[in-house]
Amino acid sequence: MAVPRARLWLIAKTLLAAAILVGVGLQFARILGQPALNPYPFDLRVGYLIPAGVLYLLAHCCWGSFWVRLLGSQGVKVSLVQGLRAYFVSQYGKYIPGKVWVVGIRVVMLGGDAGMPLAVGVTAELQPPVELAVVREQRARARRTPGPDTTTRATIGHRYRPDTAARTVKFLTCGRLS
């Protein structure tokens, strides 16, 4: 009985991924086993690790769903599942030098299906600055002290307008690229 070529390719890719994971794990074990790190005690608590992983996943789901909504505002018709899948897969592109692969992966995964690769690429580039604006705004609200004028001064020394994140999101979601 002959095994189809596609099945063999799937098995080969799975074995390669497993080998990479094992190699990375062994390298981390080697690094963490060095005597220079012995003064720092390490206690792995799975009880904390699982909720932290779930919260991390939920946070990325928030940003991924924002990106899907941003796509929809630009006329790209994508389901939430398709958009989140492209978002999560493209996150691996951050670890490739150049960081352009995040955009490339999203365009390849959604640009052809949606028929608007430019809108997919531009929204992929616009999403991280919005994330940063929202995080900076939240940080500023948490640390803000009254400033001399209508702006607020955060303790880190930067000036923030209270509505910066909201204005950025409104601009990006209300405007169209075409």
In this prediction, residue 15 carries a pLDDT of 93
In this prediction, residue 154 carries a pLDDT of 45
Composition of the chain by helix, strand, coil, percent to 5: 70, 5, 25
In this prediction, residue 152 carries a pLDDT of 47
Q: In what side-by-side order are the strands of the sheet with 152-153? A: 145-146, 152-153, 159-160
Of 79, 51, 76, 55, give the one whose Cα is nearest residue 65: 79
In this prediction, residue 103 carries a pLDDT of 85
Domain boundaries along the sequence of the chain: 51-174
> CB neighbours of 156 closer than 8 A, spacing ≥ 6?
143
In this prediction, residue 72 carries a pLDDT of 86
In this prediction, residue 157 carries a pLDDT of 46
pLDDT in tens, the chain (178 residues): 567 888 888 999 999 989 999 998 899 888 888 877 777 676 778 888 899 999 999 988 988 998 898 888 888 888 999 999 989 998 888 887 777 888 888 888 887 665 778 888 888 888 878 888 888 887 887 776 555 544 544 444 445 455 555 555 555 555 544 3
In this prediction, residue 153 carries a pLDDT of 46
